[in-house]
Amino acid sequence: MAQHDDDGARATQPHRGPDSGHQSPHHQVLIIGGGNAGISLAARLKRYRVRGIAVVDPSEQHLYQPFFSHIAGGTAKAESAVRPQESVIPKGVTWLRDAATGIDPESKTVTLGSGRSITYEHLVICPGIQKNWDGIPGLQDALDSAHGASNYSIDLAVKAWRLLSTLRSGTAVFATPDGPITCGGAAQKPMYLACDYWRSQGVLQDIRVVLAVPTQTVYGVEIVDEELNRKIAEYGIELRCSTELESVDAGTHTATLRNNADGSSEQLQYDVLHAVPPQSAPGWIRDTGLADDDGFVAVDRSTLQHVTYSTVWSLGDAAGTRNSKSGAALRQQTKVVAKNLKAVLDGHSPTQQYNGYGACPITVSRSTVVLAEFDDARTPKPTVPGWKGLAKERRLTWLVERYGFIRLYWYGILKGWA
């Protein structure tokens, strides 16, 4: 038995495992996705004494994705980014180990992959973003080959460090796709970590490093661009702006880069290709009638309540907000959704507003970080108002990001306290 909801007579045990399928199919708050957003929200709602919460997620593992960059760059081990999902489900919350496949907001029903249907009073949709590994011709073959890797999957991140750390000469290509992606700056992080490592090994000058970004500047926020351009010059990286990976020929190790500004193409033979897959909203959301034009959940960007159905909410990477998708953004969103949902459950109107904040700590060396903080208009939004110092390369931010945030994540954010 695994129904441990503390609002009913049956609820006497702490959470120990996934739902066995014998419980009530109705939940006061049903959360689709037990990732960063879903678990933080469930924990916070528990703290606000909301009862009848269930989380639907098929995954046995909970992943701390920000550490994938450290794994790919050789500054953390894979084990530190993974915990059993069971261990992060808040006590008193039901875990339904299944995948949501459909939603009928009229009858307030969610269909699961197992064929079961469950109903809700309020629904929170946060299944993250979809990584389209086959979205670039030849990319999947390249990643399956001995020369391709990516920090957007934990296994490929482990492989990335194996490839980058053993490279002594040749060409390394790092590419970021256009369109919405989670933590846009993450693609660059293993590159700077590798360059710093190659410099320490005395081989940096023998490695041609090419970075392709779809944006007109390296990051798209002026103060951050200044710092990154300085590091790019320091490491001798060749920067290609307005440029995307168009296709890959895994057999000949050839990456074709397309410049979207002038339409030109360039072919590069690589020894290591580190590529981020194109990303999109999970495809099944579009069929629910709850999506915006881009397929993400159509929420009011301030309250995070659905624009049509007041019992539907969304946050995190799947939400149709305009901020840079990141854990830092959804940390703010979690507080907004939790407070607004609690208010509505208590018969009040939502009052909390999300301000579009997002952030990305960019590891520009193996001991320093540039912290990019900005809103959904890409205007700097520093944590310390009026002080842009955190957007400069700093040792302090490295210490906080490498050692502090991960503890904050497991022991504060996922517990509903931070």
Question: Rule CB under 6 A: is residue 317 a binding residue for ligand FAD?
Answer: yes
Q: Which residue is nearest to ligand FAD (CB)?
A: 35
| Interaction pattern, residues 145-184, with ligand FAD; x per rule: CB under 6 A | ------xx-----------------------------xx-
Say how many residues touch ligand FAD, by CB under 6 A: 37
DSSP 236: T
Measured from the CB of residue 185, what is the shortest distance to ligand FAD in angstroms? 8
Among 2, 19, 34, 171, binds ligand FAD (CB under 6 A): 34
Question: Rule CB under 6 A: is residue 363 a binding residue for ligand FAD?
Answer: no
When the beta carbons of 187 and 257 are compared against ligand FAD, the nearer one is 187
Please enumerate in sequence order all residues whose Cβ is within 8 A of that of 346, keeping only pairs 6 or more positions apart, or say none.
Answer: none
Return d(Cα 282, Cα 296) in angstroms, integer.
8
| Cα-based distances in Å from 91 to 21, 47, 54, 96 | 18, 11, 11, 14
Question: Rule CB under 6 A: is residue 316 a binding residue for ligand FAD?
Answer: yes
When the beta carbons of 6 and 174 are compared against ligand FAD, the nearer one is 174
Residues 378, 374, 352, 93: is their CA dihedral positive or negative? positive
Q: What are phi and psi of 277, to 5 degrees?
A: -75, 150
Both tokens assigned to 370: 């540039």
**Residue range at the interface with ligand FAD (CB under 6 A); choices 199-207, 316-324, 368-376, 407-415:** 316-324
Measured from the CB of residue 88, what is the shortest distance to ligand FAD in angstroms? 10
CB 257 within 8 A of CB 266: yes
| Interaction pattern, residues 269-308, with ligand FAD; x per rule: CB under 6 A | -------------x--------------------------
Residues 216, 217, 218, 221: is their CA dihedral positive or negative? negative
- Secondary structure (3-state) at 203: coil
Measured from the CB of residue 329, what is the shortest distance to ligand FAD in angstroms? 7
Question: Rule CB under 6 A: is residue 326 a binding residue for ligand FAD?
Answer: yes
Measured from the CB of residue 312, what is the shortest distance to ligand FAD in angstroms? 15
DSSP code string of 245-307: EEEEETTTTEEEEEETTT--EEEEE-SEEEEPPPEES-HHHHTTT-B-TTSSB-B-TTT-BBS
Measured from the CB of residue 78, what is the shortest distance to ligand FAD in angstroms? 13
Measured from the CB of residue 168, what is the shortest distance to ligand FAD in angstroms? 26
Give the 3-state secondary structure percentages of the chain, helix then strand then coil, rounded to 5. Answer: 30, 25, 45
Residues 73, 75, 81, 82: is their CA dihedral positive or negative? positive
Please enumerate in sequence order all residues whose Cβ is within 8 A of that of 146, keeping only pairs 6 or more positions apart, or say none.
Answer: none
Return d(Cα 169, Cα 387) in angstroms, integer.
41
Among 29, 68, 297, 374, binds ligand FAD (CB under 6 A): 68
Q: What are phi and psi of 314, to 5 degrees?
A: -155, 150
Measured from the CB of residue 5, what is the shortest distance to ligand FAD in angstroms? 19
Question: Rule CB under 6 A: is residue 94 a binding residue for ligand FAD?
Answer: no
Measured from the CB of residue 182, what is the shortest distance to ligand FAD in angstroms? 4
When the beta carbons of 6 and 397 are compared against ligand FAD, the nearer one is 397
Interface ranges with ligand FAD (CB under 6 A):
32-38, 56-59, 65-66, 68-69, 99-100, 126-128, 151-152, 182-183, 186, 282, 316-318, 325-328, 330, 359-361
